[in-house]
Amino acid sequence: MQNIIDRFLKYVSFDSQSDANSSTTPSTETQWAIARYITDELERIGMQDVSLDDNAYIMATLPSNVDHKVPTIGFISHFDTSPDYTATDVKPQIHKNYNGEDIVLNEKENIVLSPSYFEDLLLYKGQTLITTDGTTLLGADDKAGITEIVTAMEYLIEHPEIKHGDIRIGFTPDEEIGRGAHKFDVEKFDADWAYTMDGSQVGELEYENFNAAGAVVTIHGKIVHPGYAKGKMVNSMLIATDFIKSLPSHEIPQETEGYEGFFHLTDIGGSVEKTTLEYIIRDHDMTLFEQRKEHMLAIAEKLNQEHGSKVIEIDIKDQYFNMREKVEPEMHIVDIAEEAMKSLGIEPLIKAIRGGTDGSQLSYMGLPCPNIFAGGHNFHGRYEYVPVESMLKASQVIVKIAQLTADKY
């Protein structure tokens, strides 16, 4: 267990936030440091064909140790962390034998991780938790996934009696800004299928995710002196308010769950003359997803007609799609993961992701890629934590999937 703790703590010591405003790959220079470290580590533990390309994508191979043809499987995680919350100078805290009570992350600032608010904590009584100190995110999303994959590869190298086919691993930059798969070379990876290790609670196994789009709504106004504004001023902020109110008030993230989609206003900025609204649009069902986009366009058209001019412009761009369409024809890859979990005494939690993963884009690029738990909770903020036992179980699932694949083919 100490090995997995030490590896995870090393990874989270790197500040590797991505940046959506950057046009480079990786989007931040800081991601290179962890990419180079992981590359060196993979060579040290004995992985083959280790490569780090010009865009910081890492790939490596654990060669087959069986004498028959076995499908090549892959495991993928990302090393960037969310730009939504600071990841500079992460100070992890280790809490052994968690007692189910409040955890004081930062006494000075009165920052407390409490099971009265985060009920999932109670699932891990008696376990070892790694938390933040309340001033940064932790980075378990997805350095826990990398920890688990590297640990599993090291274990298989040290235990050649466990039979497996060729295993490919890949680590990507910029997943948190939706670009993790954009420059992933599926042909070079050369796997029959893969799994992203990027879920949360122990047992999660996911092959459905949102269809996703981003929308930028630009409202144009006219500024004149307020003392002489009658019949002349057009206040873009007021029109923006009308637009916001025209969307279903209950179809927002904090009011939805399961397969329910939403409109999410992520940013707003404006003045009398110009206001910009940024939305993300999400739905698991493709028909409902298309209807959501059409609904936004219809609201804009209605307001334009009311004002007698094109005061609103909308730019909607699709981001990724539900991987279910690509994975269902290959359901045996989900079945193997489910069997692996059950054989280890883990109850599979098969559900839809209320978000997306690199796996959704990779599935549409020809690499079917369900998602498996990595163990962390409360991603992208100061209350993030990961149980060490969850990382250990995820690593064991990787080993078992490799073993079952060799047994079945």
**What one-letter code names the amino acid at 97?**
N
Q: Is 268 helix (H, G, I), strand (E, B) or coil?
A: strand
Cis, peptide link before residue 92, omega less than 30° from 0: no
Six token digits for residue 399 = 């080993």
Tally Cβ neighbours within 10 Å of residue 68. 9
Burial of 248 (0-12, 13-18, 19+ CB in 10 A): exposed
Q: What are phi and psi of 44, to 5 degrees?
A: -65, -40
Six token digits for residue 183 = 């420059």
| CA–CA distance, 198 with 362 (Å, rounded to integer) | 14
| CA–CA distance, 200 with 195 (Å, rounded to integer) | 14
**What does the DSSP 8-state code read for residue 52?**
E
Q: Say which of 19, 80, 174, 208 is annotated catalytic.
A: 80
Six token digits for residue 35 = 């990419």
Q: Say which of 148, 175, 204, 384 is annotated catalytic.
A: 175
175 assigned to active site: yes
Which residue pairs, CB below 8 angstroms and at least 24 apart, start in 267-271?
268/240, 270/219, 270/236, 270/237, 270/240, 271/221, 271/223, 271/236, 271/237
Q: How many CA atoms lie within 13 A of 330 on its CB side?
A: 19
Closest CA to 300 of 236, 343, 246: 246
Residues designated catalytic: 80, 175
